[in-house]
Structure 1
Amino acid sequence: MRLLVATDAWHPQINGVVRSLEQVVKAGPRHGFDPVLLTPQDFRSVPMPGYPEIRLSLATARGVAARWPSPAHVHIATEGPIGLAVRRVCLSRAQPFTTSYHTRFPEYLAARAPVPESWSYAWLRRFHGAANGTMVSTATLERELAGRGFRNLMHWTRGVDTTLYRPRDEPVPEALADLPRPLFLFVGRLAVEKNVAAFLRLSLPGSKVVVGDGPDRARLAAIAPDARFLGALTGETLARVYAAADVFVFPSLTDTFGIVLLEALACGLPIAAFPVAGPQDVVGGAGIGVLDHDLAAAARAALAIPRARCREHALRWTWAESARQFYGNIETSLARAGVVPRRTPQAPTGSVALP
């Protein structure tokens, strides 16, 4: 069964949306689906104002229709130009589709411009309301969006590669070897909505380490000249930095999940964060982190948490379960559209075939 996945976020971007979509696309054949991607690589693009690292696609409904792969189902991952164009084509063709809610755009926009959050949420409610279902990553976010009038919400959790992200008995990376301990680490995009300045202004022992890049890097470096900024890292290099740190500090107040939380836990790092959606769902009361409105107190208290407990908790979050939920939601959407998939004895568990 062909599935079109439309996303405005794709390589070379490094973020949770891209990581999540990589995993479900990879798992598609195991669930009886043939995913086809529509990404910014398929269109001309321009730099996003104020954030040139992100390109905005010049996608139109006509351009999308010219590339239409005749899918049985469509999943729209983002509310950007590609998502809007694909949504328009789906509605014109009575094409079943789902969406996902990854990013708190109302809060992000309000941090940059005088746009009331209520206006943005009204627009998002309309965008997602036309879908057969909207996938959200946590129970906290689901309750919040339901309270704002969103409907047909579906749960889609996230996972972590526990083979790559693991505790390591090896020398500290050279970039960190000269820093006083303990090491408090942040990994993520350096943009105003990530609230990284709150981390850098904390009074903590040892050293602060920042991994990531973005439009706010120069301002943040000026706030904390003693912090070590390593730029954007991926793969083994990133995993070794996680494993060498002592506490992962997550200052965001607006993230809907935070895959970096799972990556840190898988490497044995306890979490320090504010008690908000995302950390509440990943950390909760599991004893693998400290959630407190006093982020400095949380970071200091997290030093006492056993690393083995963090690793054990991370092992519960798998990309296999994430994919199972995602494709289960697709099947539910098809059923809502009156297309009831039937399983075939020859197909692997979880796969479907059209009648």
Structure 2
Amino acid sequence: MRILIASDAWQPQINGVVRTLERLGQELPALGAQVDYLTPQDYRTLPMPTYPDIRMALTSPANVARRIAQHDPEHVHIATEGPLGIMARRACLASGRAFTTSYHTRFPEYLRARVPVPEAWTYAWLRRFHNDGSATLAATPTLVSDLRARGFDNVVLWSRGVDGDLFRPRDRRVLDLPGPIFLSVGRIAIEKNLEAFLSLDLPGSKVVVGDGPALAQLKARYPDTVFLGARTGEDLAAIYASADVFVFPSLTDTFGIVLLEALASGLPVAAYPVMGPIDVIGGTEAGVLDADLKTACLAALNLSREKARELALRHSWTACAQLFLDEARAAKFSRAVRQRGRILPRMTMRRYRTTDL
């Protein structure tokens, strides 16, 4: 099956969306799917206002439609709601191509943190964007329920995975700092709520890995915190394995792949009891969720590193890719049925997911 993924989020960005889409490109060929991408790397770009590290593609609807036609995919997946996503959606609707979307980022909450735009307005626009697709893929049961309650149609669960070979406990620690070491990894931006972690009175050391528009401000405000910048691969994995607790202060993430990476490295998690941590950590002995983040941090020091890793290894990228492919095949079948002039309810179509179409 030929699949084209359109995404405004792409390299050199380091975030959960890019990691997920890159991993699909590695996993899907083994499942019988060919994957191509339509990303800002194909175009001239300009920096996103308030977030210059994110580059926005400079193109036109006609150009995007032409590129999609040249790829001639059997299915299109629209991963983001930026300029490329908007134009790809328009092209699919005009040509009758089947497409799915995914909901990675809680833009209404992120936008509201920066400018006084009512969340209801942004959610209304997002509903229109996603509801024209065959399905909206969401990372956790809590997010699925939230979007359905907000009027999103055909929202389906699409979880995430972790590379348990790369992210693993290690004998040697690369962080030579007073312990215990509390670590946070992710984009350094206002919506990540990092100050809730950095302002805590904790023993030992605080370490932050990542880059973003708030980095300079937070480094100046919290000089006792060790900021290591963006890290990837073995370098990042070794840092995870050198810490004692992973702190996830975000209140707005839809999942948090870093949660799985930390757990696979043997790090218990301290987080708020909100979407993402509830779905990954809730009801397990791999982390502590508490409205008092300091309480969660200190309690997590006493948890088993083995149980943290056991929980992470329940999530695989192969399973993530298979769920994605199932939805692409279901969308293709739905389109074929409509072209024959018949209408089939979605629940009936799901029986045909594993059929080679």
Equivalent position of 2:345 in the other structure: none
Q: What SS does structure 1 have at the residue aligned with 2:246?
A: strand
Distance 1:34 1:283 in 2: 34
Verify the 8 A CA contact 2:329 2:354 in the aligned structure 1. no
Verify the 8 A CA contact 2:285 2:304 in the aligned structure 1. no
Q: After the TM superposition, which segments of 4 or more aligned residues of structure 1 sit over 3 Å from their partners? A: 350-354
Q: What SS does structure 2 have at the residue aligned with 1:111?
A: helix
Q: Which amino acid aligns with 1:76?
A: I
Distance 2:104 2:59 in 1: 20
Aligned length: 341
Per-residue deviation, residues 71-104 of structure 1 (Å, max 9, x unmatched): 1110000000000010010010011100000000
Q: What's the offset of the Cα at 1:338?
A: 2.8
Q: What's the offset of the Cα at 1:152?
A: 0.5
Q: What's the offset of the Cα at 1:335?
A: 2.2
Equivalent position of 1:343 in the other structure: none
Distance 1:306 1:32 in 2: 39
Q: What's the offset of the Cα at 1:307?
A: 0.5
Distance 1:39 1:292 in 2: 39
Percent of aligned pairs with the same residue? Answer: 58
Q: What's the offset of the Cα at 1:336?
A: 2.2
Q: Which amino acid aligns with 2:254?
A: T
Following superposition of structure 1 onto structure 2, how do residues 188-267 of structure 1 map, counting pairs within 5 Å?
A: 188-267=186-265
Q: Which amino acid aligns with 1:89?
A: A
Q: Which amino acid aligns with 2:131?
A: G
Any unmatched runs of 5+ in structure 1?
Answer: 341-349
Equivalent position of 1:58 in the other structure: 58
Higher relative contact order (CA 8 A, sep 6+): 1
Equivalent position of 2:81 in the other structure: 79
Q: What's the offset of the Cα at 1:317?
A: 0.7
Out of 105, 108, 126, which is 1:103 matched to?
105
Q: Which amino acid aligns with 1:126?
A: R
Following superposition of structure 1 onto structure 2, how do residues 44-193 of structure 1 map, counting pairs within 5 Å?
A: 44-68=44-68, 69-170=71-172, 172-173=173-174, 176-177=175-176, 179-193=177-191
Q: What SS does structure 2 have at the residue aligned with 1:67?
A: helix
Distance 2:14 2:322 in 1: 24
Q: What's the offset of the Cα at 1:352?
A: 5.8
Distance 1:333 1:278 in 2: 27
Any unmatched runs of 5+ in structure 2?
Answer: 339-352
Verify the 8 A CA contact 2:326 2:354 in the aligned structure 1. no
Q: What's the offset of the Cα at 1:223?
A: 2.4
Per-residue deviation, residues 277-297 of structure 1 (Å, max 9, x unmatched): 000000011110000000000
Q: What SS does structure 2 have at the residue aligned with 1:218?
A: helix
More helix by share: 2
Equivalent position of 2:342 in the other structure: none
TM-score by length of 2: 0.93
Instruction: Tell which deviates more after alignment, 285-294 or 25-34.
Output: 25-34
Out of 275, 278, 299, which is 2:276 matched to?
278
Equivalent position of 2:288 in the other structure: 290
